[in-house]
Amino acid sequence: MSSKTMELTPRVVEECVKLAESDPGVGGIVIPERSVGNNYWAKVRDLEKSFYVRTPIESPGFLRRDLAIKAGGFDEDIVFYEEATLHTRLRS
């Protein structure tokens, strides 16, 4: 899962697949998100995101398909933060 404002490194999907395949206990992988740019607002956004680390608001950017299906997938009635509700259901 990638937001429309997120730039992925060229090998991030390959690296996530490799990690997930190496350990069957890995259900999802949080991909660190950094703001692009060096202006004031990019720095503010990075500071904001630093508060999300290891909290329920931080959701995996890479998720095993079988787990997403088992959790019922995305709630199509939610227009934003749908990944957070999926993450919450996965944790329970």
User: Would you say residue 77 has pLDDT above 90?
Assistant: no
Residue 90's pLDDT is what? 77
User: Would you say residue 4 has pLDDT above 70?
Assistant: no
| Higher pLDDT among residues 85 and 64, named by residue | 64
Rounded CA gap, 19 and 77, in Å?
Answer: 32
Residue 11's pLDDT is what? 92
- Residue 82, amino acid: E
The pTM of this model reads: 0.65
- Among candidate residues 88, 89, 83, the one with its CA nearest the CA of residue 4: 83
pLDDT, tens only, 8-63: 788 999 999 999 999 989 988 888 777 777 889 888 888 888 887 777 667 778 88
